[in-house]
Chain A
Amino acid sequence: MTARRLCRPLLIVLTTTLAAPACYTLIKHPRVNTAVYEEVQDSRCTSCHYEDEVWGFHHPPAQRFYAGEDYGDWAFYYAVPWWYDSYWYFVPSEPGTPLQHVRDLRPGVEKGTIDGTTGGPIGPPPDVKSTGGSIRAKDTNDSGKAKTDEKSDERTVRPKSDKGKDEAKQKDGDKGKKES
């Protein structure tokens, strides 16, 4: 065995893998002049962002984990990127449930609710500019009872339902033009 036998496949793989991430994996966000919620419908954005998740990015947490829904602590262990400053996490609520429960997956932080009436503190999500994504909307509910964080007065969750989306859009519009 000589080093020469390793060189050819090594070069091929290196070339491929170094070039390929430019096609899909992005470590720098593309320059965008303006970005409001409505513009997420733009194909330039939807190629990366979920339709209803402006501030999140394609890091499907459950896709490569176990099948099913709620894996609690395991979801934090496996699915939440360490560079995400926000650890908000949707837990689907039962139909008719007045509040959507939200869990903060940081170690040591107690469960809270969407309005912050119980549990640990609910902090504002970070600026998208610095984090590249903050919210993990794990699932949606059908109730349309979108609740937002009143304390932080920031976007925290957006359900898929039209009603919820409208509410979220309105809030986004109020805050709008934050993302660059």
Chain B
Amino acid sequence: MLVSRQASLWSACLTLFVSAALIGTGSILFPSPASAQDINDAVTFEDLGFTQRLAVGARPAGMAGAYVAAGDDVYSLIYNPAGLARIRRIDLSVGFQYATNDVKNVFYGTSSETGFSSTTLDAVAIAYPIPTYRGSLVVAGGVWRVMSSQFDILNRGFNTDTGTFDDYLLQQSGSVYSYNLGFGVDLAPELSVGMNGFILDGTINALTQFSYRYPPPLQDGEIETATLIDDAEVDLDGYGLTLGLQYHPHHLLHFGLAVTMPTSIDLQGNALTEEAWYRFNAADEFAVDQFVVEDDYTIPFRVDAGVSFTLPQLLLSLDAGYSDWTQAEVNNVRLKDENLNAVFREVIDIRIGGEYLVPGTPLRLRAGYALTPYALDDLQADRIEGNAIQKAKVDTERQTLAAGLGVLLNRVLTIDASFEYQTGKRSIATLADERTSQRVVLTGSYRF
């Protein structure tokens, strides 16, 4: 009657623990297929925020991140380090971001909604142009918030597949910061290259609570309600490398290319799990356990290419990024379903941005649009069970509208602000998943 109910976040460990607990209590265990484990890992991959890069810096964010060819400041270190070679003055930049996120789920016909906000550091970075007689050589370093692990989700309703009232809640907080060091150099008057080596660091806290309740009639000794509280804290470490190139065949035309090597992320931490089984006309059972979390995630290669045009008072930029997420790995294993089809997919995202310099003023206005399809091809309705997995139907592809402005003060200080609105919706027969977010980035850059 009873099947294994596993938490999604630290699924590998929890599966073992729950299985052992259930076996110990004499319950019948129906082990999940290996593919369910993979989809759990894939869902966790997305929950942790590893499948989406944030647009850092108010100026790039105001152009929806279309900065591979247009980048000409310290933020080029992230988007395309070759753009560093366009910097002529020492550039110090500091930024903060404020974000709100909403997740609206329809779980087996029942709607739930969660929302949260966060205020964090966005960037601290400096670029130093080395004096040259010809060409350009610029070194830069900085800390950026490149991924957000802030995530809340609530799945609540009657699960018709298991015949239980399910209540699944995940509250997760944390950010992934990237510590970068790189340079850009001119190889020719029209050609620049650059490199950025980065180390990822962060702490993620995840509180998972779920319960499932069987409706009557029940026989004596059967589980009436089971609950689980899993509190985990993990440290995140990773590293990677980005190589970039910018080509300027004409002063009105610029091309950019950036390749990010596979990024390795290591999660290590501890989790405390408390479980309770309330039985019908029988003694209740409780269990507390502590275990170690240790997982390796690999974000696959990413290639970004862009072109930008500089017209009088106007900058237009178009970027496209490709990443084959089927090469994503968890613990050196690619994630596939029961038919050995990848649960991730290849993704091409498009970013378009523009910047208008208001004549005779120190003001610049920006706007942008980004289409960033989901890397995860499947959706999982039953996070407790680690089940009800289907290929997702994309109702609204994830996309971002951006706007921003910047002002130059006293020739040396720019203050930039951006606003982004992102939305996307996927669904399967038993779950609709709609996510929206709004983000404001404020950046100040001083040129010495």
Binding site for B on A (CB under 8 A): 1-3, 5-6, 9-10, 13-14, 16-17, 20-21, 23-29, 48, 57-68, 71, 73-74, 76-83, 105, 107-108, 132-133
Contacts and interface: CB of A to CB of B under 8 A. Distances in A.
B219 interface: no
B312 A68 contact: yes
Contact of A5 (B90, B132, B262, B313): B262
Contacts of A27: 130-133, 137
Interface in B148-174: none
Contacts of B251: 60, 62-64, 67
Contact of A77 (B133, B188, B240, B414): B414
Contacts of B408: 73-74, 77
A180 to B, nearest CB: 13
A66 B254 contact: no
Interface string B234-248: 000001110100001
Interface in B431-448: 447-448
Interface stretch (B11-19, B27-35, B179-187, B345-353): B179-187
B3 interface: no
Contacts of A23: 187
B313 A80 contact: no
A77 B448 contact: no
Given A24-B134, A73-B411, A76-B411, A17 B315 contact: no
A17 to B, nearest CB: 6
Contact of B86 (A21, A48, A64, A68): A64
Q: Which 7 A-B pairs have the closest CB atoms?
A: A25-B135, A1-B264, A83-B131, A68-B312, A63-B251, A73-B411, A26-B133
**Contact-residue size bin, chain B (C-beta under 8 Å from the other chain):** 35 or more
A74 B88 contact: no
A17 B89 contact: no
B88 A78 contact: yes
Contacts of A82: 88-90, 129, 447-448
Nearest to B246: A64
B109 to A, nearest CB: 42
A64 B72 contact: yes
Contact of B135 (A1, A13, A17, A26): A26
8 contacts: A3-B239, A13-B193, A17-B195, A27-B137, A60-B189, A63-B251, A107-B410, A132-B133
Name the prevailing secondary structure of the A interface residues: loop
A77 to B, nearest CB: 6
Contact of A133 (B88, B90, B133, B410): B133
Contacts of A76: 411-412
B136 interface: yes
A66 B358 CA distance: 12
A97 to B, nearest CB: 20
Contacts of B288: none
Contacts of B314: 66
A57 B134 contact: yes
Interface in B394-448: 408, 410-412, 414, 447-448
Contact of B357 (A64, A74, A83): A74
Nearest to A20: B187
B310 interface: yes
Given A1-B262, A20-B193, A67 B134 contact: no
Nearest to A24: B135
Contacts of A60: 189, 251
Contacts of A24: 134-135, 186-189
Given A1-B298, A6-B241, A79-B88, A25 B315 contact: no
B311 interface: yes
A81 B133 contact: no
Contacts of B183: 17
A110 to B, nearest CB: 13
B323 interface: no
A64 B187 CA distance: 15
Contacts of B129: 81-83
A104 to B, nearest CB: 11
A10 B251 CA distance: 31
A127 B304 CA distance: 44
Contact of B134 (A14, A26, A68, A83): A26
A92 to B, nearest CB: 15
B192 to A, nearest CB: 9
A63 to B, nearest CB: 4
Which of A10, A23, A63, A105 is most buried by chain B, counting CB atoms within 10 A of its CB?
A63
B252 interface: yes
Nearest to A27: B132
Contacts of B326: none
Contacts of B241: 6, 9-10
B362 interface: yes
Interface in B83-142: 86, 88-90, 129-137
Contacts of B240: 6
Contacts of A2: 264
